[in-house]
Amino acid sequence: MRTWPLLAALVLAASAEAEGVGDDLSIRSELQVERAQTQSWADSPFNRVSQLHDDQWSAEWLPELDGHFEQIEGAVKPRLLDETEAGGADPDLWLNECWVRIRPCDGLSLQGGREVLLWGPAMFWNPSNPFYPENNRANPYVELAGRDFIRARWQPSPAVSLSVISEIGRGHDIGGAARRDAIRLDWAGESASAAVLASADRTGAVGWSGWTQWTANSALVIYGEAAVSMRPPVTLPETSAGQTGWQLENQNGDRTLKSIAGSAYTFSNGWTLNLEAWRDGDGLSKGEARRVEQATDFLSAQPAGPACAQLGALLDSAPVPYRRDYSGFQLMSASDAKTGWLLRYTFNLDDGSGEAVALIKRDLGDRVQVWVSLTEREGSRAAEFGRWVRSSSLLGLTWFIR
Amino acid sequence: MKHVLILLCLVLGTAAHAATDAQALLAESDRARGGHLPGLSWTIQISSVDGDGQTVQTMAVIAQDADSRADYTAPAKLKGQFVVMLGRNMWFARWGLQKPVPISPRQRLIGQAANGDIAATNYLDDYNASLAGEDTVDGEQCVILQLVAKTKSVTYDRIRYWVSSTRKVGVKAEFFTVSGRLFKSARFEYGNTIGHEGRTYPFISRMQIVDAINAQNRTTMDYSRVAVCRPDPSRFELVQ
């Protein structure tokens, strides 16, 4: 617990120092408290491995400092997390983002450090982004883990830019390839814009992706994203005559297509409705999902030991529990509302499960904002949204220091 | 028959001349609101009064042709929030939203101000202008221009625009929906000046917008720190 006062002292010291710096420095401090509830431990075969408590609490402190001075910009975002599952251990302290950007001459920017690198017009999923395709699929207030990048961007005019991006480390994230490089070309026309991107992972496998959007009229924006890339290696169960009755086999993936299409319509009162449908070619097919479900049921009914180890390896496989066909809608209040809200529903068309998210934020003056996020999931215990946490609530208090 | 043809030529010629006059007047009035300049930077303070009370926001804007970027600088809760407009493509980013998202021109920023109101005004590119009469605004002789949107993707479908006959600046505007309903009106003041190509021009210092349905809903935009400059193109990047 000694890290809490240490970090608080650092933020307060930076705030005091910042008084003489000017308006180019922003300091925020956010406190999040989350309660997550699973279905009954005994009722879920997946909890046999994950062993989530039925009722979990966590508190996270998210201070942020960012600013710019002439041609140099930067941000520092340390994080401090305390969870009930930690069993009395010290809270986790890490640096989720810390980067510097310089603009050595007009049209050129260079950036390096740890960041969460996001883009794409779609709200639910961004397949055009090979680094963070899963950016907003869950609660938008739940932060993604930063990774280490270096990138250069040449933008000779506002309408055209060329970027070279290299992921050099996984940062605070875990798993996945340690390195991926990409080159990206952006274009913006009169009413439409687009980007194309080629990327390669450390094995040399090349993927292509891109996005486009069109402002159809003053209220309607239509957009889409797509990617063609190699499916990551998959661990799938096969029946066997072994001790547990199943064995796990690693299968190299084929080239798959991932795509999403959507639209955003702004009503005259300022509310905006997004409708999206997408297909994730990396997700489990109907046959693969059935085998995973059968193996999970069979393995979870056996005593701990080899069966439990197999179950853990199976559930740790990259595409589990994702399926292929989804749709979603999001309704959001006007961006200038003092009490803002967002409603979102994600529907897994393959297994019938779904996730609803409601978010309400309220400004308390110019420096304090309080918000609540509620998530409710439904579906069978084998379905994507039915197998882990059933409901969660997140309460946040943000203090905008300067 | 000959007289009819001469009369027809005169009518068409007069109409074409009037249209040219309207377009030329519109081009001159645009410059006082940032249009047709190599680039601009300015600071806008937006004060909005409605049923929830008063809200004040400040943003730093850079603009080049039809492209602009507005970074919120106050209050503290809005720092880090920005709007990028490249042509009619618009993106909005704010703290907590995780990434810039595309928005439509109809999306409001604050009060009665639309996204198009914070950018440089290029009515000449977006609207067809015609002369619609003359009028006096606060004792100043004005020409009324009828502006009709060239495309459906602009902020306003139709505008009645009062342009000072002597100063060649827009002093009053009424904004209409597609159905022809008046939904807000605006008054303009020109207390700033800019220098361009060796000459000095008046420049907008205040735009006051009043809701047509509830006149108590008012938004005032005050423009300051105006400078003619070509911005660094890399400032228009979306990925943060």
Question: Rounded to an integer, what distance in angstroms lies between the CA atom of residue A74 and that of residue A183?
Answer: 23
Q: For residue B94, give the DSSP letter.
A: -
Residues of A in Cβ contact (< 8 Å) with B92:
335
Indicate if the pLDDT at residue A327 is higher than 60: yes
A281: CB partners within 8 A, 6+ apart: A231, A256, A257, A258, A324
Classify the C-alpha dihedral A332-B81-B114-A121 as positive or negative: negative
Q: How far is B134 from chain A (nearest CA, A)?
A: 30
Q: Which of A140, A215, A270 sits opposite B88 (nearest CB)?
A: A215
Is the bond preceding B38 in cis, omega lying within 30 degrees of 0? no
- Interface subset of A 44-103, CB within 8 angstroms of B: 66, 103
Q: Closest residue of B to A135, CA-based?
A: B98
**Which helix (H) or strand (E) segment is B103 a member of?**
strand B101-103
Tokens, residue A305: 């030991």
How many C-beta atoms lie closer than 10 Å to residue A28's C-beta? 24
- Do B102 and A221 count as a contact with CB atoms less than 8 A apart? yes
- Confidence label for A319 from pLDDT (cuts 50, 70 and 90): low
Pairing of strands A339-348, A325-332: antiparallel
Query: What's the pLDDT score for residue A21?
Result: 44
Residues on chain B touching A335 (C-beta within 8 angstroms) = 92, 94, 103, 107-109
Residue in chain A nearest B230 by alpha carbon: A106
- Of A166, A257, A253, give the one whose Cα is nearest residue A205: A253
A91 secondary structure, DSSP code: P
Q: What is d(CA B186, CA B56) in angstroms, rounded to the nearest whole number?
A: 18
Residues of B in contact with A136 (CB under 8 A): 98-99
Of B107, B153, B232, the CB nearest to A107: B232
Give the per-residue pLDDT at A389: 77
Residues B86-117: tens digit of each pLDDT:
888 889 887 666 678 888 887 766 667 776 77
Contacts of B55 in chain A (CB under 8 A): 336, 338
- Each residue's pLDDT tens digit, B152-208: 767 788 999 999 999 999 999 999 987 888 989 999 999 999 988 888 989 999 999
What's the mean per-residue pLDDT of chain A? 84
Angle between helices A306-315 and A286-300 (to 10 degrees): 150
Amino acid present at A322: Y
For A391-402, b where at least 16 C-beta lie within 10 A, e where not — what string? ebebebebbbbb
Residues 190-219 of A with CB under 8 A from B: 190-193, 213, 215-219
The pTM (predicted TM-score) of the whole model is: 0.85
pLDDT at A161: 95
Residue A155, chain B, CB below 8 Å: the answer is yes
The C-alpha of B215 sits at a distance from chain A's nearest C-alpha, in angstroms, of: 17
**Residue A225: which pLDDT band, with cuts at 50, 70 and 90?**
very high
Dihedral sign (CA B1, B7, B12, B17): positive
**Cβ separation of B107 and A272 shorter than 8 Å?**
yes
Interface of A with B in 337-356 (CB under 8 A): 338
Of B92, B102, B108, the CB nearest to A213: B102
pLDDT at A20: 45
Note the ipTM here: 0.81
B44's tokens = 């806008």
Chain B hits for A213, Cβ within 8 Å? 89, 102
pLDDT confidence bin for B240, thresholds 50/70/90:
very low
Q: Which residue of A has its CA nearest to B53?
A: A338
